[in-house]
Amino acid sequence: MNSDIIMVDWHDLPFHPVANLFPLIDGPEFDALVSDIAANGLHEPIWLHSSDNTIIDGRNRYRACMAAGVAPAFRRWDGNGGLVQFVLSLNLHRRHLTSSQRAAVAVEVLPWLEEEAKERQLSTLKQNTDRPFVKNLTNGDSDYNDGRAAAQAAELLGTNRQYVSDMKRLNAEAPALYAAVRDGQMTVTQAKREYVRTTAPEPAALPSSKYRVIYADPPWKYGNTQPDYHGEQADHYRLMELAEICDLPVADLAEENAVLFMWATSPILEESFSVVRSWGFRYKSSFVWDKVRHNMGHYNSVRHELLLICTRGSCQPDVPRLFDSVQSIERTEHSRKPEEFRTIIDTIYPHGRRIELFARSAAPGWEVWGNEVRHAL
């Protein structure tokens, strides 16, 4: 960069788009800046792009100089090191941004990083224009454009890569929430929860058919006795109060002789039995899913969930095959249950109509019900 102080005609200088990465200040904060510059002058020069004298850093100082009637001093960026990286280096140390706000800025940075990377790749490979990779780049099909750009943006801004991905989606689908995070009014987590709360569709009415096999993974709301124990649930789907779950007319779905497989966790085990009874079933046994990796807990380090086996009438397994009650399967994404358990159900209960409640996706041989089949965050 060029550190020499220069003087230019400072009236009506335009802002370079990269200057908009950070929000303008206004109100009392801007008034204080105007007063300080009027009394003490401008201590930190304003940076201009070397090619067209557009302002790349110092919009607030420039506006304050205009308001105070003080001629500002300038420096020119010489084009070395990447424009985005240069502007970030000037701003991050002097702005008190939360990790959520930094993620919002990272989303603004993404197009610049993608374009810079594409130009570097094309420049390096310009002598090999017949190679398929180069043809893909010229068509905008670069592997960099997704994961690598988000990772670099997160690293440059000093924030979480998942936050950047979440903010990118909020920017596309919920711009008002994105703006609230960018302005410091909400965190990324709060914005995600609000997005789920306001956009998750209500599930369709339960079907009128009868089923012999029912598989359920209720969206338990843990309540005041378990504060934030599974708080991230609310980031992904709408939770239900115990009374809401109990009131579902699942008993009307079940054949006279039916079996229910229902997921529960230790903190809400007592409540889960209330659901079993409300749905017209009796508890018989359970499988234990050993997740291999630990989660935090209140009384111990939790690494398991329970799949309760409950029956209505007489519904013994069709196939007398005994599976180990403890299944050790490493967990993957949040709340997704291993397909191995569905395979166990299909193996011991191969006959009869079957339905999955609160389903996340369709499965061969199963009818499904739930809003996550159509909506996922």
Q: Which domains does the chain have, with CATH numbers?
A: 17-80 (3.90.1530.30), 99-199 (no CATH), 211-373 (3.40.50.150)
Q: For 361, list phi and psi in degrees, rounded to 5.
A: -160, 165
- Amino acid at residue number 180: A
Could you say which residues of the chain have pLDDT below 70?
1-3, 93-94, 119-121, 123-147, 200-203, 223-237, 333-335, 372-377
pTM to 2 decimals? 0.55
Amino acid 146: pLDDT: 59
Amino acid 126: pLDDT: 62
Amino acid 35: pLDDT: 95
Angle at 89 between CA 156 and CA 105, to 5 degrees: 50
Give the CA diameter of the chain: 90
Amino acid 2: pLDDT: 52
Cα–Cα distance for residue pair 52/54, rounded to 1 Å: 6
- Chain-centroid distance of CA 253 in Å reads 35
The sign of the CA dihedral 30, 35, 38, 39 is negative
Q: Reduce the secondary structure of the chain to three states and give it as a string.
A: CCCCCECCCCCCCCECHHHHHCCCCCHHHHHHHHHHHHHHCCCCCEEEECCCCCEEECHHHHHHHHHHCCCCCEEEECCCCCHHHHHHHHHCCCCCCCHHHHHHHHHHHHHHHHHHHHHHHHHHCHHHCCCHHHHHHHCCCCHHHCHHHHHHHHHHHCCCHHHHHHHHHHHHHCHHHHHHHHCCCCCHHHHHHHHHHHHCCCCCCCCCCCEEEEEECCCECCCCCCCCCCHHHHHCCCCECHHHHHHCCHHHCEEEEEEEEEEECHHHHHHHHHHHHHCCCEEEEEEEEEEEEEECCCCCCEEEEEEEEEEECCCCCCCCCCCCCEEECCCCCCCCCCHHHHHHHHHHCCCCCEEEECCCCCCCCCEEECHHHCCCC
Tokens representing residue 144 in the block? 């960099």
Amino acid 221: pLDDT: 81
Amino acid 366: pLDDT: 95
